[in-house]
Amino acid sequence: MTAHATTMTNPQKDFRITGKMVLFFLLAFFGVVMIANGIFLYVALKTFPGLGDAQAYRSGLQYNETLAAAERQKALGWRTAVAYDPAGRFEVRLFDRHDQPLQYARVDAEIQRPAVDLYDRAVELPEIKPGVYGAAVELPFAGLWRIKLSITGRGGEAYRAIHEIVVAE
């Protein structure tokens, strides 16, 4: 028996990798990687403004105390509403568990820009009407501002709240 070697001829041109193809695939690959990184960067900056607590370790050590304070605050049943008008007036409305204005409290507000702390400020808000505390506060930029309220009732009760407001241009 004799073996015959047969060769098939390819009627099409043989496939060859050229320098242009390598360049194209390299540029396409790194282009896709850069687009994906850009999307991840955009989402990260829009969803997480940074470190939430400068003393995170100490806060973690006092976790049980923080939980107990949250339970005491929940038992108070207080509620807050925050407003800022374009004329520069900042107001906080306080309500008790029966939706009545909460009077004679001490209200301190930390007004923060989530992205940078350069424009952060602390303001004490005096009571201007029953249950309404406010002051003139100029916010230098439009956009998102975080308001951290620290409220002490006339009986020494502590209440904390965080609000976010958007200041229009």
Does 4 have pLDDT greater than 70? no
Give mean pLDDT, residues 120-138: 93
Q: Where are the beta strands (DSSP E) in 66-168?
A: 79-84, 89-95, 106-112, 121-125, 127-129, 132-136, 143-152, 158-167
Helix ranges, 48-99 (H): 56-61, 63-76
**CB within 8 Å of 164: residues ≥ 6 apart:** 114, 144, 145, 146, 147
Does 50 have pLDDT greater than 90? no
Give the Cβ contact number of residue 70 at 10 Å.
11
Per domain, the residue ranges of the chain are 16-48, 56-167
Does 98 have pLDDT greater than 70? yes
| CATH no. of 56-167 | 2.60.40.1940
pLDDT of residue 55: 77
Confidence of residue 105 (pLDDT cuts 50, 70, 90): very high
- Between 4 and 164, the more confident residue is 164
Does 112 have pLDDT greater than 70? yes
pLDDT of residue 11: 57
Bridge partners for 55 per DSSP: none
Confidence of residue 144 (pLDDT cuts 50, 70, 90): very high
Q: What gap in Å lies between CA 92 and CA 129, rounded to an integer?
A: 11
Instruction: Indicate yes or no: pTM above 0.95.
Output: no
